[in-house]
Structure 1
């Protein structure tokens, strides 16, 4: 089985989100994987660490920005464009 994810924050809270936001889905996905302890089991993080594989290649368009930064920049640009559009119509 291949389960690929990407994140731009700390690893522990990221894995905790799987346990709190989609625990049933995680256990359905991994329930038949040999040794799966269950997403709410304290040993699940070690299980994931023991089985994760680092990507051989990776591309990030803006490595110095987080997803949150990009969304904030988008809101700023939309606000500026709206102000410019309104200024042109007046």
Structure 2
């Protein structure tokens, strides 16, 4: 795989205030994929760090995801005989804001723990970290989303609304309303029937 030279990225022409960033988008979502070389002898330590992060997620520690509020999914993969690390994620909004969130949320500490085992990583709060990520990034050739118009926050809101609506459907008050002759016209309306069909899945 051809790699962009980090030093060239650091020493090239001055970038504009809003440089073009790599990565494909689909609707509100963008993809972020980086390939990093693991420091010699660090694969086992890196694997331990990733195991700890995975265990924390398994026990319900998702505060970092809530704090960022733009991350759909993420994965770390060690490959190529323990010499390479893949990090891939899907996020909402601008690339620059997404990278900034690494440093301004609890994710920053976790990123430092992971990427400190890769070559050349300057630290998530270093002013050159974006250039480092760009140098490691390989844009996807194809990127599609099943829900391109929904942000993470909209999905969370839809989930909360659905849970509340399902609770209403299960309530004794709602059952009584269904049996009340005064609501006959409303219950027979196409809009209400569509609502019930959607609730049934």
Query: Residue 50 of structure 1 corresponds to which residue in structure 2?
Result: 135
Give the TM-score normalised by structure 1: 0.79
Task: Flag the 1:72–1:37 CA change in 2: closer, same or farther, 3 A.
Answer: same
Task: Flag the 1:71–1:23 CA change in 2: closer, same or farther, 3 A.
Answer: closer
Residue 34 in structure 1 maps to residue 119 in structure 2: yes
Please give the per-residue CA displacement for 1:28-57, whole angstroms capped at 9, x wherever unaligned: 322243322111110001111122111233
In the alignment, the residues of structure 2 paired with residue 9 and residue 31 of structure 1 have an alpha-carbon distance, to the nearest angstrom, of: 26
Please give the per-residue CA displacement for 1:5-45, whole angstroms capped at 9, x wherever unaligned: 21112222221222232333322322243322111110001
Bigger proportion of residues as helix: 1
Q: Which has the larger radius of gyration?
A: 2
Please give the per-residue CA displacement for 1:42-86, whole angstroms capped at 9, x wherever unaligned: 000111112211123333111111111111112222222222222
Q: How many aligned positions are there?
A: 90
- 1:1-90 matches, cutoff 5 A: 1-20=85-104, 21-86=106-171, 87-88=174-175
Task: Flag the 1:28–1:83 CA change in 2: closer, same or farther, 3 A.
Answer: closer
Give the TM-score normalised by structure 2: 0.40
Return 5+ residue gaps in structure 1 as ranges.
Answer: none
- Which one scores higher on RCO, CA 8 angstroms, separation ≥ 6? 2
Return 5+ residue gaps in structure 2 as ranges.
Answer: 1-84, 178-201
